[in-house]
A and B are shown apart, each in its own frame.
Chain A
Amino acid sequence: MERLINFIYEYRAFFTFLFLELLCAWLVVENNQYQSTQYFNSSNRVSAQLLGFSQGVREYFSLRTINEDLARENAELRRDLERTRIQLTEATTDTTRINQFDFVSAKVMANSTHLYKNFITINKGKADGLYPGMAVIGDAGAVGKVKSVSDRYAVVISLLNVDEQVSGMIKRTNHFGTVRWNGIDQRYTTLQFIPRHATPVKGDTVVTSGYNAVFPEGIMIGIVTEVNLKSEAPFWDIEIELSQDFGRLAFVEVIKSKLKSEKDSLEKVTTGERR
């Protein structure tokens, strides 16, 4: 026993090293598990405020473009509103279904686009009704999913994150697949699992499919820029140009889906899946 203690003491530097590295490795692995409640990330108050300060300084230099974006978005919303009002005259009377989605506007506190796993920190949190799994959209299209929340802040897993998958659909043909970033260029992403018999062409619009009830159906993702079918491959290789410019994200909207829990629990019952 004494020998063992002496041994450990003699090599204490190595054992400390081993302990710390194992701890870090565990943290890395743990963090990769999707959607967990965490406190040691940029949604904690101190770091979020610091990041917000640094973002504020940068934002000052891009006020003009932000204003333009907001004005344009305003106009589009008004048009949408009008269109919806007309549609509603012939639509269902089930108010839950009409009000299925609720929007919360949030300001971007921090954002990255050049890592393999990019995240966005926003200034709304549990106090505003956010919880992990909610969809986040920008002025031009889908942005990501809420990963973890604190009282006043939340971390969003960006579409520019190799771990993030969103169900996407080619609007023209209704074929659906998985949108997943390849980690290289912040302007482009890929659409996977579109079967051979589909006929995607350059210029097709890709939107969210609504199959997982996180995103409402039909939220813009991007435009197909390249299609490629290898001779033996079961699926197309499709490259999409993202409609949302992640490089200058200033405001986003978080979507609260009121029917999500209902849909999820129904599907769980049907498939017997446990999560």
Chain B
Amino acid sequence: MNRSGIAQLLLFFAYLLLQVLVLRNVALFNTAFCFFYIAFILLLPIETNPLLLMLAGFLLGFSVDIFYNSMGLHAFATVLVAYLRNYWLNTITPQGGYESGAAVTVAANGLQWFLVYTIPLIFLHHLVLFFVEAAGVTLFWYTMLKIVGSLVFTMLVVVLFQFLTPPRRRL
């Protein structure tokens, strides 16, 4: 395994622990939750192999599930995002394409691009997560409120982290 692989492996555990030890206990107004762990999948380098992406997504989601007692729920939503991620990246390729080995950061592609990239995928993740958890649409508007509230919360943290971490050298 090369250096970037090990770095990503450490990041995997960092995201997981942050999620299950800290963010699991946070709920704003009882409706907004933070599922920051999904950023790990979204921020992997652009040319990551789709199979590897999905496998990482499954392992991450499954690990989160163990702590949330929600077998398969987070894994389901995360694998979906991991699968669609590369297609979405191709769809919104900026003029001139991505540089080879480019990272997914605000620094590399600008804030506007970053938001266009992350918001729909995080929204989809939360949409699937909350509706599968509610097992139906009986509480439709309340569930929608939770989804939008969590989307805003998660996005805030994801963008904040983009500005907190110094632009990394290419791995």
Contact A41 B66 (CB under 8 A): yes
> In whole angstroms, what is the CA distance A184 to B135 when docked?
14
Contact B83 A17 (CB under 8 A): yes
Least distance between B88 CB and chain A CB atoms (Å): 14
Which residues of A are found within 8 Å of B83, using beta-carbon distances? 13, 17
- A-contact 0/1 string along B122-146, CB 8 Å cutoff: 0000000000111100010010000
- Contact residue among A13, A23, A27, A32 (Cβ-Cβ distance under 8 Å from B51): A13
With A16-B51, A183-B139 known as contacts, the answer to whether A58 contacts B25 (CB < 8 A) is: yes
Interface residues of A (CB under 8 A from B): 12-13, 16-17, 20-21, 23-28, 30-32, 38, 40-42, 44, 47, 50-51, 53-54, 58, 110, 112, 114-117, 119, 121, 155, 162, 182-186
- Contact residue among B50, B61, B69, B71 (Cβ-Cβ distance under 8 Å from A13): B50
User: Which of B2-10, B73-81, B89-97, B107-115 is the interface stretch?
Assistant: B73-81
Which residues of B are found within 8 Å of A121, using beta-carbon distances? 69
Contact A114 B27 (CB under 8 A): yes
28 contacts between A and B (CB under 8 A): A13-B51, A13-B54, A16-B54, A16-B55, A20-B57, A23-B58, A23-B72, A24-B79, A27-B71, A38-B71, A40-B62, A40-B65, A41-B66, A41-B71, A47-B67, A50-B17, A50-B67, A51-B20, A51-B67, A112-B24, A114-B30, A114-B33, A116-B134, A116-B135, A117-B70, A119-B69, A183-B139, A185-B30
Task: Count how many pairs of residues, one from A and one from B, have CB atoms less than 8 Å apart in the complex.
Answer: 108
Indicate whether B1 reaches chain A with its CB closer than 8 angstroms.
no
With A117-B133, A183-B134, A184-B142 known as contacts, the answer to whether A17 contacts B54 (CB < 8 A) is: yes
Least distance between B145 CB and chain A CB atoms (Å): 11
> In whole angstroms, what is the CA distance A25 to B133 when docked?
12
Contact B70 A31 (CB under 8 A): yes
With A58-B25, A116-B133 known as contacts, the answer to whether A26 contacts B72 (CB < 8 A) is: yes
With A27-B75, A114-B30 known as contacts, the answer to whether A42 contacts B133 (CB < 8 A) is: no
Which of B71, B76, B83, B142 gathers most chain A CB within 10 Å? B71
Contact B79 A115 (CB under 8 A): no
> In whole angstroms, what is the CA distance A114 to B76 when docked?
20
Contact B54 A27 (CB under 8 A): no
- Contact residue among A31, A42, A186 (Cβ-Cβ distance under 8 Å from B67): A42
> In whole angstroms, what is the CA distance A168 to B65 when docked?
31
Least distance between B34 CB and chain A CB atoms (Å): 12
Least distance between A203 CB and chain B CB atoms (Å): 26
Which residues of A are found within 8 Å of B68, using beta-carbon distances? 42, 112, 115
Which residues of B are found within 8 Å of A162, using beta-carbon distances? 134-135
Of all chain A residues, the one with the shortest Cβ separation from B65 is A40
Indicate whether B160 reaches chain A with its CB closer than 8 angstroms.
no
Among B5-63, those with CB < 8 Å from A are 17, 20-22, 24-25, 27, 30, 33, 50-51, 54-55, 57-58, 61-62
Least distance between A9 CB and chain B CB atoms (Å): 12
With A13-B51, A183-B134 known as contacts, the answer to whether A42 contacts B72 (CB < 8 A) is: no
Contact A47 B66 (CB under 8 A): yes
Which residues of B are found within 8 Å of A54, using beta-carbon distances? 20-22, 24-25
Which residues of A are found within 8 Å of B66, using beta-carbon distances? 40-42, 44, 47
> In whole angstroms, what is the CA distance A117 to B68 when docked?
10
Of all chain A residues, the one with the shortest Cβ separation from B69 is A119
> In whole angstroms, what is the CA distance A12 to B51 when docked?
8
Which residues of A are found within 8 Å of B22, using beta-carbon distances? 54
- Contact residue among A17, A42, A183, A185 (Cβ-Cβ distance under 8 Å from B79): A17
Contact B76 A21 (CB under 8 A): yes
With A115-B133, A117-B133 known as contacts, the answer to whether A28 contacts B73 (CB < 8 A) is: yes
Beyond A54-B22, A112-B68, list 14 extra A-B contacts (CB 8 Å): A21-B76, A23-B72, A24-B61, A24-B72, A28-B71, A47-B66, A47-B67, A51-B21, A53-B21, A54-B20, A114-B30, A115-B70, A116-B133, A184-B139
Least distance between A8 CB and chain B CB atoms (Å): 13
With A13-B54, A21-B76 known as contacts, the answer to whether A31 contacts B27 (CB < 8 A) is: no
Contact B30 A186 (CB under 8 A): yes
Which residues of A are found within 8 Å of B71, using beta-carbon distances? 27-28, 30-31, 38, 40-41
